[in-house]
Amino acid sequence: MTKKTRKSQISRRTFVAGAGTAAVATGVIGFPAVLRAAPQPVNLGIIHPVTGFLQQAGAQCRFGAMLAVADINADGGIRSLDGAKVRAQLGDAQSKAEIGVAEVEKLNERGVSAIVGCFASGISIATTQAAAKHGIPHVVDVGVSDKIVQRGLKNTFRFGPGFGKIVKVGTERLIEINEKAGKPTKSLLIVHENSTPFGSGMAKLLTKGLGDAGFDVMDALAHPTPNRDFNNIVLKIKAANPDLVVPSMYYNEYVLFARTLERQKVKPKAIYSVLGGAASQYKFLKEFPTAAQYIMDCNHWYNPKNSDAFRVRAATEKAGKFYSYEVFTAYHAVKLVADAIERAKSRDRAAIIDALASSTWAGHFMPYGPTKFVNGQNQGAQPLNTQILGDEIEVIAPEEYATAKAVFPRPA
């Protein structure tokens, strides 16, 4: 084990060294004044729940954030601050809101210019409040709860879409996909988790949205997280025999659910998820290629027409990680802060908040267009619709980002 630790350390060091060389190289070409003392790094707080029950997602987020820090530094750091490097100050929220707050306080003492985190809505709500007391800009990487940006906190920004937007778009696109295919599905059944903010608000919104569009919503079956057995739910689906199943749950449960469908030989005409835990995860596709086929999802997704997305994907896969939404959302949260610091030309927290609020950042690979924040929410943020086809996750809607045509309903 010591060996492994050492190895990973060395690899990180070589990576940093490589990044340093690149920075020096650009420096040599750009300015003759490389000998000037290196500027103080900019401290950036990165908080995620890397221990406790959210540890899987937290680790993915942290990886994405660290990748962004490495990229920024390899790219010459913050240019407007004489190429100052970004220094990550890591925090572990231990999957608890109160620990998240303690980490904010600690990072405040360490003089961070901004904070990025904390994956879960519950933790992010607490950390943004704590950061607000010290005037620290806080970019929320995932945290889809809409309450995060509805409390009037001036320091809080979210680059990605919130829950309301995702569900609304998810509903509209399902209606559109169904209409385009000649309305092959009429009845549907919703399966959702209800132990956390993410799944519990979903059913009501979906039931209403899809019901209004003329779908026959047969049932909305809730289950807790964690859940050990999906046989009941699958048997109910079998009995109701809906055209369409709409599942929304965390990764482990999603996998268990999809496998139970497969085992019980229940094959609805289509599976369409909104924020489905595994429905657009490469890990799921790799481990269960048959169970995953044709599953559609409306989720955080990168712009497949941007080559940067694939550069980051390659880097992620090279590190032995899966390119999940946590990776690229956290990646962008860090990049967004870096861009704001660049614009602010300052380490000052208030200046960075102003820069974030007025930012028009377009150098990202999400399908959002240039950033425009209103009350901390990026207005252009939207989810994409994906479908697992063969050994790739393709974008099927909206048109401008699509890489494949939706297979709907799935072939029998």
Partner 1 sequence: MTGTMGWRIFWLVLGALAIVAPWIITSGFWINFLILTLFLAFLGQGWNIMGGYGGQFSFGHAVFFGTGAYIQAILQSKFGWNPWLTLWFAMAGGVLVAAFIGYLSFRYGLRGSYFALITLAFAEAFRVLATAAEGVTEGGKGILIALNQDPERSFAMMQFATGTGYYYFILILTVLSLVVVWAMERSRFGAQLVAVRENEDAAEAIGVNAFRVKMGAICLSGAMTALGGVFYVQKFLLMDPNIAYGPTKSVEALVVPIIGGMGTVFGPLLGSAFLHTMGEITKEATQFFWQDRPGLDLIFYGVILVLVLAFLPNGLVGLIKGQWRGRRQGRAAERKKAVA
Partner 2 sequence: MYDFSIILASVINGTMTGAVYALVALGLTLIYGVLHIINFAHGSMLMVAMYAAFFLFAAGGIDPYVALPLVAALAFAFGYALQRSVISKTSHGRDEIILLVTLGISIVIENAALFFFTSNERLVTLPYDIEGIDLGVTFLVVPQLAAFGASLVITFLLWLFMARTDTGKAIRAVAKERLGARLVGINVDHIFAISFGIGTACVGAAACLLVPTFPVTPQIGYVFVLIAFTVVVLGGMGSFVGALIGGLIIGIAESVGGLFFGETLGKISISLIFILVLLFRPTGLFGQRLR
- The two tokens of residue 217 are 């919503």
Enumerate residues 123-152 that contact partner 1 by CB under 8 A. Answer: 125-126, 129, 133-134, 145, 147, 151-152
Name which position in 26, 43, 51, 56 contacts partner 1 (CB under 8 A).
Answer: 51
Which residue among 6, 133, 186, 263 contacts partner 2 (CB under 8 A)? 263
Q: Which of 82, 92, 172, 219 binds partner 1 (CB under 8 A)?
A: 92
Strand-pairing partners, residue 43, are 87
Q: Which does 294 bind (CB under 5 to 8 A by kind): partner 2, partner 1, none?
A: none
Cis peptide before 298 (omega within 30 of 0): no
We find the least distance from the C-beta atom of residue 238 to partner 2, in angstroms, to be 8
Query: How far does Cα 88 stand from its chain's mean position?
Result: 19
Which one of 71, 141, 193, 297 is in contact with partner 1 (CB under 8 A)? 193
262 contributes a contact to partner 2 by CB under 8 A: yes
Tokens coding 330? 């956290």
Give Cα 204 to chain centroid, integer Å. 23
Q: Give the burial class of 165: count Cβ atoms within 10 A of its Cβ; 0-12 exposed, 13-18 middle, 19 or more buried.
A: middle
* Contact range with partner 1 by CB under 8 A, out of 51-59, 182-190, 243-251, 339-347: 51-59
Sign for the CA dihedral angle at 220, 223, 225, 230 comes to negative
CB of 221 to partner 2, least distance (A): 7
8 A C-beta contact, residue 166 and residue 274: yes
Q: What is the largest CA-CA distance in the chain?
A: 75
- The residue among 89 and 264 lying less far from partner 1, judged by its C-beta, is 89
Which one-letter DSSP state was computed for residue 148?
G
- Find the shortest distance in angstroms from Cβ 13 to partner 2: 20
Q: How far is the CB of 354 from partner 2 (least distance, A)?
A: 37
List for the chain the helix, strand, coil content (%; round to 5): 45, 15, 35
Range in contact with partner 2 (rule: CB under 8 A) among 22-30, 70-78, 257-265, 388-396:
257-265
CA 361 to CA 367: how far, in whole Å? 12
Residues that bind partner 1 (CB under 8 A): 5, 50-51, 55, 58-59, 62, 66, 88, 90, 92, 96-98, 101-102, 105-106, 108-109, 122, 125-126, 129, 133-134, 145, 147, 151-153, 193-197, 199-201, 224-225
